[in-house]
């Protein structure tokens, strides 16, 4: 504990530039702070400060040591804060943002969460728009794709696969494509990314030198649920996540296409604003979603068979 007191005195003195200022923060006299730092220097066998009657500045060794000690004390503060917060009951409103299609994954597990934490009120915002967590007051979000914001913490969730699907009625009218080139005689349902306005590329693998396949879209929408509905109604071929298509694939309402010609792994992430101290209500939703939707082995779901 004496060494810990010395570390605290050293860091505060280095931060504030004097024993007097450090003593005010620590509730000690300047003399006690100076003695604690001197004892630490004796234990380490190295001078941490260059002292004069008018100034106090870190030595080269002191600067390197200060950086390390600052991280150590921050981690200690974080551990103490976490321990204290475990005694609090998680309560209050938690705003969760997720893609519209994510409700297929999220809603089935939320009943258990609400039974475990009855004093938490979930505010679910299902949108395909990329929200700014900090500016829009979002506590936790589920997202796929690139995550460029350095102000967020990230945890990997469930991997998924993009599938090309069509209804049996459509395939009976238009035929079943055997290779990507055959898609030139078919029509597609396009997905437009809400933020960029770009049309989703279908994840087709083609031999080197083979030109891109041009697919005529008879309908384009910025909502994956709408795309799913249009494909179910036989309007064309659509590209969608495996979990969105799963029920229709099982009951025969949709048929997977060109499985040997797709390279379409995807990844969900759980993200939340970077902070040293998560509130209890945010910590429990982060831990719960991570546990229920997190895949440690990173394996994709089983591939549906070709028709």
CA distances from 35 to 10, 28, 60 (A): 10, 11, 21
**Do 147 and 287 belong to one domain?**
yes
In this prediction, residues 58-66 reach a mean pLDDT of 90
Check residue 235 and give its pLDDT: 97
Asked whether residue 302 is assigned to any structural domain, the reply reads no
Check residue 59 and give its pLDDT: 92
Asked whether residue 303 is assigned to any structural domain, the reply reads no
Domain end marker among 85, 113, 137? 85
pLDDT at 182 over 90: yes
Task: Note down the domain range covering 224.
Answer: 160-264
How far is 217 from 186, CA to CA, in rounded Å? 9
Q: How many domains does the chain have?
A: 3
Which of 124-133, 147-156, 266-275, 278-287 bottoms out in mean pLDDT, i.e. has the lowest?
A: 147-156
Mean pLDDT score of the chain, rounded to an integer?
Answer: 85
In this prediction, residues 119-143 reach a mean pLDDT of 89
* Helix H or strand E encompassing 202: none
Q: What are phi and psi of 163, to 5 degrees?
A: -120, 150
Helix ranges (DSSP H) in 86-217: 103-116, 168-174
For 73-91, write each residue's pLDDT tens digit.
888 877 777 666 666 788 8
CATH number at residue 134: 3.40.190.10
Q: Buried b / exposed e across 176-186, counting CB within 10 Å, b at 16+?
A: bbeebeebeeb
**pTM, rounded to two decimals:** 0.62
Asked whether residue 20 is assigned to any structural domain, the reply reads yes
């Amino acid at each position: 504990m004496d060494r810990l007191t010395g570390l605290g005195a050293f860091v505060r003195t280095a931060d504030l530039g004097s024993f007097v200022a450090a003593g005010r923060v620590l509730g000690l006299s300047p003399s006690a702070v100076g003695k604690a730092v001197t004892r630490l220097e004796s234990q380490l066998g190295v001078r941490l400060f260059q002292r004069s009657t008018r100034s106090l500045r870190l030595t080269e060794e002191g600067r390197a040591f200060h950086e390390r000690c600052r991280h150590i004390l921050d981690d200690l503060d974080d551990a103490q804060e976490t321990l204290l917060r475990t005694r609090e009951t998680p309560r209050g409103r938690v705003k969760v943002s997720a893609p519209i299609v994510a409700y297929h994954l999220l809603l089935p597990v939320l009943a258990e969460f609400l039974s475990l934490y009855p004093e938490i009120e979930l505010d679910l915002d299902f949108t395909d728009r990329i929200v700014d967590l900090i500016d829009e007051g979002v506590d936790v979000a589920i997202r796929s794709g690139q995550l460029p914001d350095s102000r967020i913490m990230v945890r990997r969730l469930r991997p998924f696969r993009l599938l090309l699907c069509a209804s049996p009625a459509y395939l009976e009218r238009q035929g079943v494509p055997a290779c990507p080139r055959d898609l030139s005689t078919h029509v597609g349902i396009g997905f437009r990314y809400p933020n960029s306005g770009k049309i989703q590329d279908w994840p087709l693998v083609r031999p080197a030198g083979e030109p891109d396949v041009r697919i005529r879209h008879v309908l384009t929408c910025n909502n994956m649920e709408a795309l799913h509905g249009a494909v179910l109604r036989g309007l064309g071929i659509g590209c969608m996540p495996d979990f969105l298509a799963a029920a229709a694939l099982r009951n025969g309402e949709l048929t997977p296409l060109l499985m040997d010609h797709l390279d379409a792994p995807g990844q969900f992430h759980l993200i939340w604003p970077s902070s040293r101290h998560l509130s209890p209500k945010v910590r429990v939703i982060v831990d719960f979603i991570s546990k229920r939707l997190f895949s440690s082995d990173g394996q994709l779901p089983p591939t549906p068979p070709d028709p």
